[in-house]
Chain A
Amino acid sequence: MDLTKELEEAIVAPGPQGFHPPSAAELGVLTPDEGYGLKFGHVVEEERAMEAMARTMFTRKNATIFPGPLVLWAWNDHAADKAKAVLELAAEIPDVLIIPMPDYRPKYPKVEPEEAINPNHPNLTIWGNKIEACIFIGVHCHYANLTLKMIRAGTNCWTSAVCAEQGHEDAMFTVRDSDATKIRRVAAIFKRVREEMGIKLPENGLNVRFTGLQSRVHDGKTHTNPLDFSMASPVDGNAAAFGHKAEHMQKEA
């Protein structure tokens, strides 16, 4: 199906949808069953949703991955492995930005859109970086849903959600049950679609583009190789130091 027709038939259409659009649930769209995903509010085989994510991230401006706390903090080995899989996914997208959602607190007194995204004002980060395509991954579902609703209302960003639970109906594209294995499957599909589209990655592996702030922090470098990133040990300097036990988060696997 060509994109124009898909957009005409979209239930959850890309924004800006207006001052205060109804939620996807109000439009009758609910999370997909196992093995399926959502594409513009329609249930599709999850591979179709993954392909749609890939094409969107390859063709729209300033494509960005927004990793959340579930992959930013080394809660346990599984969380660390998922984080690694996210970086492997990032490694398949030329010139991609990575802007974290490290927590859910409103930022006060100043929002720095080149530093982070926040569920209370995600539009500022989207607008500030002129982001037209994004993937949320590792964000607790409630906060992801708030964010996705606001982005659809006020921005022209096409949203994707790679969810460890049931998926997100307010995203344009979503897949569910995304453990590290499935994230790697998403990365493999991105690779296939990228090759089909004839899009090449930089030969030096420096495909992740820094925001202005990130660049200043990294001595003026403009790009980095996501696979060079070294992961903190799951036992040092993380939630375990504050009494959180690994088995708590292992259930998420």
Chain B
Amino acid sequence: MSEGLEAEVKTNPQGDPITSAPAAPSTTSTNGGRKDPHSDAKRQVEVSPDYMFFEAPREREFITGSECAKEAVRRSNVDLSVAYPITPQSETLQLIGVLYGEGYVKEFYRGEEEYGVMSAIAGASRAGVRAFTATAGPGTLRGLEPIVSWAGHRLPAVCMFTCRVVNAPLAIQPDNIEIAYLLQSGMIVFHAENQQDLFDFIMKAFIIGEKNDVTLPVGVCCDGFFVTHARGYCSMPDKGFKLPGRDVYRGAVPVLDAENPPARLSRDAPVQKSNFMAYNIHAVWQQEVWAGVERSRKYIEHYMDGLLEAQDVDGADVLLIASGSAAAQSREAVRQCKERGIKAGLIKIRSLRPFPTAELRKLCTNAKLIVIPEFNYVGWLAKDVATAIYGFSKAKIVAGPHVYGGMSMPVEMITDEIECGLTGKKSNTVPPSAIMGVADPAAVAEFMKSI
């Protein structure tokens, strides 16, 4: 296909014309009468992160999560992206390939498999460029070793995780168990509820992760299909704007080993392979990675309006704490509870790492019941919440309801748990072993009189 024809026929993987972004500015450069496929990208204007996120006028589009990711990358001044297909992520990086054709991403290729992709992202980020990739489920686990090395190497790459079942048995359906692994990786981890979150979180991830005192990778997670393949409203600044490029010489580490030219490909010799290491070199290195996670809090506060979002929590007896798609279901559960006279509120957690421990301790002080719906078996969020608020809240904590393996979560599952939690009625979905703490019976009785 010729360049000119390729530029004119822009379609998504389903063959539909791409309509996800505002129309390009009217002026176009030409090359022998043909439109330069990179002309729009070349005319992008660099704006400050604060302008991009808070001040630039936005237009609302009804698009899929994959298209939101594409539009975020379009505006993020990304230097390199490496792709390897896996459902439900494949469409996203296919769309990034379209951006490459349009000149918005400078380098793009398909890797051999996820280990190779994540290693290539490491090399690119270490060389100083802004790098983006995405994967899902088994791909996440296949790439996990290099992914976990990113934090230790202080590489501020951004990876989108479109969570799905981890085999076996083979399935491609939604399930966010893979986040449990990412939480211990030293990377910053955000969990997007919907298409808008995905768009915003990806762009902000680059800016937050590249701050000098952070210099860490960011994982932007969403629940596959529910977000990637479903359409939702997304407000976006004009595609004529882009974020400033990565200012690599402000990083916490030198680019490659530039202080010792010519650059060595391995920045650090293996620690603890020599008798001349301090005994605790690797230990303080890990401390430093997690200190970087802590330092990201102030930037998350600034750019993302906090690590969590609290809705109707003042005076609430029941708190739903959720992240990702479970937050959407919980929001509806809160609405239904209100109709039934139950004082319920929602805490949606945006940032899983760093975790909003102090915020939760404050918000959960007076709650009588906390219900934590999740789209996975193990209940990683409930464990984090219980650990965070232990000793700071007397609430009964219900680690559930959980759905997994591709199931959806009817709102009734959540409202039923609220009812069971308040009345002591036996739950049909949450086992007694998943219920932590017992509220004061007298307080529960008093509460029951009011509804």
Question: Which A positions have Cβ atoms within 8 angstroms of B?
Answer: 20, 22-26, 30-31, 69, 73, 102-111, 120-124, 140-143, 145-146, 149-150, 153-154, 165-166, 169-170, 239, 241-244, 248-249, 251-252
Tell whether, in the assembled complex, residue B290 and residue A25 are in contact, meaning their CB atoms are under 8 Å apart.
Answer: yes
Within 8 A of A (CB), among B254-269: 254, 257-262, 267-269
Sample of 15 A–B contacts (CB below 8 Å) = A25-B294, A25-B295, A26-B294, A102-B259, A104-B259, A106-B276, A120-B277, A121-B281, A140-B251, A141-B215, A149-B287, A149-B288, A150-B278, A244-B261, A248-B249
CB distance from B325 to the nearest CB of A (A): 32
- Tell me how far the C-beta of A29 lies from the nearest C-beta in chain B, rounded to whole angstroms: 9
Q: Please tell me if B45 contacts chain A, counting CB pairs below 8 Å.
A: no
Assess whether A108 is in contact with B274, with CB atoms less than 8 Å apart: yes
Q: Which residues of A contact B106 (CB under 8 A)?
A: none
A165 to B281, CA, bound (A): 23
What is the interface size of chain B, counting residues whose CB is below 8 A from a CB of the partner? 38
Q: Kindly provide the distance from the CB of B152 to the nearest chain A CB, expressed in whole angstroms.
A: 10
A121 adjacent to B212 (CB under 8 Å): no
> Given contacts A31-B295, A141-B213, are A109 and B287 in contact (CB under 8 A)?
no
B47-87 to A contact mask, C-beta < 8 Å, 1/0: 00000000000000000000000000000000000000000
B288 touches A142 (CB 8 A): yes
Interface positions, chain B 264-322, Cβ under 8 Å from A, are 267-269, 271, 274, 276-278, 280-281, 283-285, 287-288, 290-291, 294-295, 297-298
- Cβ of B337 < 8 Å from any Cβ of A? no
Find chain B residues with CB under 8 A from A166 CB. Answer: 212-213, 295
Q: A142-B215, A165-B212 are in contact. List 17 more A-B contacts (CB 8 A).
A: A22-B287, A23-B284, A23-B288, A26-B291, A69-B259, A106-B269, A106-B271, A108-B274, A123-B278, A142-B252, A145-B284, A149-B280, A149-B284, A149-B288, A239-B261, A242-B262, A251-B247
B250 within 8 A of A: yes
- 9 pairs of A and B residues whose beta carbons are closest in the complex: A242-B261, A25-B291, A23-B287, A69-B259, A142-B252, A149-B284, A141-B252, A166-B213, A165-B212
Interface contact B254-A69, CB-CB below 8 Å? yes
Q: Which residues of B contact A22 (CB under 8 A)?
A: 287
With contact pairs A69-B259, A110-B276, A239-B261 given, residues A26 and B287 touching in the complex (Cβ less than 8 Å): yes
Given contacts A108-B274, A150-B280, contact A25 B249 (CB under 8 A): no
Interface residue B191 (Cβ < 8 Å from any Cβ of A): no
B368 at the interface (CB under 8 A from A): no
Assess the A122–B250 pair: CB atoms within 8 A: no
A121 in contact with B276 (CB, 8 Å) = yes
Q: How far is the CA of A132 from the CA of B130 in the complex (A)?
A: 41
Q: Which of B154, B247, B261, B271 contacts A142 (CB 8 A)?
A: B154
Complex: A117 Cα to B154 Cα, angstroms = 22
